[in-house]
Amino acid sequence: TNAAVYSMPLFGAGGVAAPGPAAVDMLTPRPLEREGEGDDCVGVADENQNYHLSGRKGDDVEEELEAAAVTMQAAFRGKAARREVKALREQRIVAETKEQERAAVAMQSAYRGRVARKQ
């Protein structure tokens, strides 16, 4: 019963793992897609639409490259700003904790002083 399962080959020829259908599909070359019938150049469909280049004219490509660079720079600045805000928030929390600790020590010493005066 289980002999058929154990006799199945785990590796392809030469001891290398055989690629699955998804890996074979990724390696299959695909034809380039045209953006429009009037285009001079062929554009490749990119899964990331934010950085897609149409390739219609040289000026358009330069503008799109610049726009993509600005988008990437803004994303980087946003990430850096969020990181800085997080660090400031953590510093504020630490400062508040230290202030609360000082207040607790002051309250405790005042209480001890009051108890000492009563005795």
Residues 71, 51 contacting (CB under 8 angstroms): yes
Q: Read off the pLDDT of residues 79-110 as tens digits, 9 standing for 90 and up.
A: 888 898 899 889 898 899 999 999 999 999 99
Q: Which residue in the block uniquely carries the two structure tokens 């610049």?
A: 66
CA–CA separation, 97 vs 80, rounded Å? 26
The Cα–Cα gap between 17 and 113 comes to 78
* CA–CA separation, 48 and 68 (whole Å): 11
pLDDT digits (tens, 9 = 90+) for 8-45: 444 444 554 554 555 445 455 555 555 554 444 444 44
